[in-house]
Amino acid sequence: MFFIIAFLALGLFTAITAWMRNRMKRGTSLKQRSQTSQPKRHIEPLPGFEWETTEPSKFRPFKPIYHITMALKSTTPSELITIDQNYLTRIRERQVTMTKHANHALGCIPCGIEAVQEVYTYLLEDYLPARYPTIFSRDEKMFHNRVTGISLPLLPPDDPVAALRSLGETVEDDLFFLRETPEGHQCTAFVCCCPSGFDPAAKIGKLLKDIHGPVPSYEKIGPSMERYFSRLEVGKSACRVNWSVTTNPVLFNVSGNHVNEGDQVEEDMDIDIDKAYVRMELQTLTRMPKTRAILFSFKTYLCPVKEIKAEGLGADLADAIEGLKRGNAPGMWVYKGGIRWGKSVCEYLRS
């Protein structure tokens, strides 16, 4: 009996030792890859950055006629993540969302694991401490967030969902991971706490053309998007701004903001203008060097419709809302919900 117990104990000790050795080897391997095989992307530091006094960026992308286009403009790797005075409030909201709606806010399929680990390592080890040294720091093993008080290991966890959750409580940008396949780009992982009228979990494993199936006239830009994604180089980034109007300030909204085929529609609703917001997304594309994955990220901004009018842009926004009916994608008027709130909002903006 003694020999059996001793044999089992020896086997357990050997297994644990092997696991620890592999774990250390994996950590060293990841670090070596990040230092050698990945080309360095220059990050411009903001040494005097004060997040508490930094106003959110203002975007006013209103045009009188809506055309569905990619409308991308080049940006730099330094501009990947933007932070402002709403940072702590948004991070706390994201923590609640990831707890209450974990099955909808977080997801990863096996072919996305390596890309999640690469982005985790890049953001925590390289980008955030370099870009925002007043907020984030790191030592040999840990990443430190001075605003939230959270410290995270530089070595990404084996569980990709745990890694995504850590990213979700570190940056307020939602992150989608795409890989190129012979059929097109596929969504392999995501952390999304600010969906506007769609369920992120329903997009996992799907191709871009299927993800955007409900979007009117998407076929007009779909092939161009695929080509652009395929040609995007490491070290190059691009961004665009998307906008709509919502009748509430809810960030995590998996249904209701969009009108899809078959939905019951109440037209020309009387809405509470105090709860009406222009919802804008600053969307950014960048390619990761090791996995070649595309990181599609977006930060959501909410601006009260009343504020737009106070700025003297009421007529511009009203024209842009009615312009959803015109242009090369007239279905956007219904899809974005203009059929519901458009009349009421435009009357207010022009009053």
32-75 pLDDT tens trace? 444 434 455 789 999 999 999 999 999 999 999 999 999 999 99
Is 220:329 a contact under the CB 8 Å cutoff? yes
Q: Is the CB of residue 199 less than 8 Å from the CB of residue 254?
A: yes
Cβ-count burial of 175 within 10 angstroms (0-12 exposed, 13-18 middle, 19+ buried)? buried
Contacts of 267 (CB under 8 A, 6+ apart): 339, 340
Query: Taking a C-beta distance cutoff of 8 angstroms, is the pair 280, 243 a contact?
Result: yes
286 φ, ψ (degrees, to nearest 5): -150, 155
Nearest-angstrom CA–CA distance, 56 and 85: 7
Contact 308, 278 (CB under 8 A): yes
User: Over 50: is that where the pLDDT of 104 sits?
Assistant: yes
Structural domain spans, the chain? 71-268+279-303
pLDDT at 10: 42
Please determine, for residue 94, whether its predicted confidence score (pLDDT) is greater than 90: yes
| pTM metric for this prediction | 0.87
The pLDDT value given to residue 249: 95
In whole angstroms, give the CA distance from residue 48 to residue 133.
8
Mean pLDDT of 157-168: 98
Residue 345 pLDDT exceeds 90: yes
What is the Cα–Cα distance from 52 to 72, expressed in whole angstroms? 30
* Predicted local confidence at residue 40, as pLDDT: 57
pLDDT tens per residue across span 125-160: 999 999 999 999 999 999 999 999 999 999 999 999
pLDDT at 184 over 70: yes
Q: How far is CA 52 from CA 87, 138, 164, 288, in A?
A: 8, 21, 25, 30
Cα–Cα dist 136/124, whole Å: 9
**Chain segment 242-295, per-residue pLDDT in tens:** 999 999 999 999 987 888 877 777 888 899 999 999 999 999 999 999 999 999
